[in-house]
């Protein structure tokens, strides 16, 4: 049985997404895969826990996948027992977390995830090398698409000089840092008034209302699969948005959409979300939500698997860790 410990310098680096991607790849190769994320202190996000259980088809209860420890002493005393309960019958167990205690206790190979912004951080090399012979390599995540080629060449050269293995270079992708229409409605205290069955779709782009009537159609045509945020007193702008590639229409100010807008939305199966907040408040809430959005929607998994197939070196990981 092989253990992979996936860690990072900071939260939000993409550990969960990479755990899911590696897990799905190994399952496709016929491996029996386990997963756990031990936590000290606060319990995990329910969405995160349920996501990993579903996406990897894990049979264990959530409390076994996310064992919670009140402090470091309790963790030291109870982690190995919790790990052994997960590991039984598995070919590979992926453990997500931080610190040196987990790889020491499990003899795990360490996969370190860093972001593009952390490439120049001196701590990267020192933390990586602190894992010694158990360090399998580093995956660089959230690299601007325009920089992918340059970063891959430069990082590979620099890592080789530093004795660090490069497991992958993965691009920043808007589809992985967004949320569903249903989640959007909750973020802005909104109400879905039609086509509720479409609210599981992901919102890839956001646009605020155009300034003039004449400019609405070309303006809204600039982005596809977008959420258009329009003031309630501007049905002309709302109709303009509905004529383009729109995945949801947000009507602000508390006013209900006029009948012709509702009819057009029904024809195109576009959900309308109404909210009492104004455009500025909605925009602010969406910006804050994007900044803290986590990888826990199953609809994102196909895109992550595609990105990892292109940018993650599974062959190198297999050669090093024997998975």
Q: What is the pLDDT of residue 209?
A: 78
What domains are defined for the chain? 2-174+295-321 (3.40.50.300), 181-292 (3.40.1390.20)
Q: Who contacts 300 (Cβ-Cβ below 8 Å, separation ≥6)?
A: 17, 175, 176, 202
Q: What is the pLDDT of residue 177?
A: 65
Mean pLDDT on 281-286: 88
Q: What is the pLDDT of residue 255?
A: 86
61 in helix, strand or coil?
coil
Q: What is the pLDDT of residue 291?
A: 59
Mean pLDDT on 300-310: 85
The yes-or-no verdict on residue 213 having pLDDT over 80 is no
How far apart, in whole angstroms, are the C-alpha atoms of residue 174 and residue 22?
20
Q: What is the pLDDT of residue 305?
A: 86
Dihedral sign for Cα 211, 216, 218, 219, please. Answer: positive
Q: What is the pLDDT of residue 130?
A: 94
How far apart, in whole angstroms, are the C-alpha atoms of residue 223 and residue 207?
8
% the chain with pLDDT above 90: 57
Q: What is the pLDDT of residue 73?
A: 87
Which letter, b or e, does each residue of 167-197 get, where b requires 16 or more Cβ atoms within 10 Å of its Cβ? bbbbbbbebbbbbbbbbbbebbebebbbbee
How far apart, in whole angstroms, are the C-alpha atoms of residue 274 and residue 10?
36
How far apart, in whole angstroms, are the C-alpha atoms of residue 126 and residue 68?
29
102-106, 140-144, 291-295: range with lowest mean pLDDT: 291-295
Q: What are the pLDDT digits (tens) for 151-200?
A: 989 999 999 888 999 999 999 876 666 788 998 999 999 999 998 888 88
Q: What is the pLDDT of residue 321?
A: 95
Q: What is the pLDDT of residue 212?
A: 52
Q: SS3 letters for 250-307?
A: EEECCCCCCHHHHHHHHHHCCCEEECCCCHHHHHHHHHHHHHHCCCCCHHHHHHHHHH
Q: Who contacts 32 (Cβ-Cβ below 8 Å, separation ≥6)?
A: 89, 90, 91, 92
- What is the model's pTM? 0.70
Q: Which helix (H) or strand (E) is 55 found in, with range?
A: helix 46-55
The yes-or-no verdict on residue 2 having pLDDT over 90 is yes
The yes-or-no verdict on residue 137 having pLDDT over 80 is yes
The yes-or-no verdict on residue 11 having pLDDT over 80 is no
User: Predicted confidence band at 224 (pLDDT cuts at 50, 70, 90)?
Assistant: confident
The yes-or-no verdict on residue 220 having pLDDT over 80 is yes
- Provide the pairing of β-strand 272-274 with 191-192: antiparallel
Whose CA is closest to 36, among 76, 84, 94, 91?
94
Q: What is the pLDDT of residue 84?
A: 95
User: Predicted confidence band at 23 (pLDDT cuts at 50, 70, 90)?
Assistant: very high
Average pLDDT along the chain: 88
Q: What are the pLDDT digits (tens) for 39-85?
A: 887 665 556 677 888 889 999 998 899 898 888 888 889 999 999 99
DSSP 204-253: -EEEEPPSSSTTHHHHHTTSSSEEEEEETT-HHHHHHHHTSSEEEEEEET
């Amino acid at each position: 049985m092989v253990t992979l410990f996936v860690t990072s310098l900071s939260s939000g680096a993409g550990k969960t997404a990479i755990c899911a991607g590696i897990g799905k790849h190994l399952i496709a190769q016929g491996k029996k895969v386990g997963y756990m994320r031990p936590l000290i202190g606060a319990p995990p996000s329910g969405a995160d826990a349920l996501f990993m259980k579903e996406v990897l088809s894990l049979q264990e209860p959530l409390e076994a996948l996310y064992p919670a420890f009140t402090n470091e002493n309790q963790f030291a005393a109870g982690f190995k027992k919790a790990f052994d309960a997960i590991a039984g019958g598995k070919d590979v167990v992926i453990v997500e977390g931080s610190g040196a205690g987990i790889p020491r206790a499990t003899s795990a190979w360490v996969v370190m995830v860093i972001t593009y912004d952390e490439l120049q951080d001196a701590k990267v090399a020192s933390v990586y090398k602190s894992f010694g012979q158990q360090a399998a390599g580093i995956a660089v995540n959230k690299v601007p698409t325009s920089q992918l080629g340059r970063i891959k060449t430069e990082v590979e050269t620099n890592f080789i000089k530093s004795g660090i293995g490069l497991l992958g270079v993965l691009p920043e992708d808007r589809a992985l840092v967004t949320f569903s229409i249903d989640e959007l409605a909750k973020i802005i205290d909104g109400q879905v008034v039609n086509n509720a069955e479409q609210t599981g779709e992901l919102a890839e782009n956001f646009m605020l209302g155009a300034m003039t009537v004449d400019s609405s159609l070309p303006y809204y045509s600039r982005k596809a699969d977008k959420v258009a945020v329009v003031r309630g007193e501007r049905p002309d702008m709302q109709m303009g948005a509905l004529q383009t590639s729109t995945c949801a229409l947000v009507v602000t100010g508390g006013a209900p959409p006029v009948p012709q807008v509702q009819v057009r939305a029904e024809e195109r199966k576009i959900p309308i979300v109404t909210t009492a907040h104004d455009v500025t408040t909605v925009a602010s809430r969406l910006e804050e939500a994007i900044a803290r959005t986590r990888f826990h929607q199953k609809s994102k998994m196909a895109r992550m698997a595609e990105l990892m197939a292109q940018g993650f070196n599974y062959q190198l990981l297999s050669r090093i860790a024997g998975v």
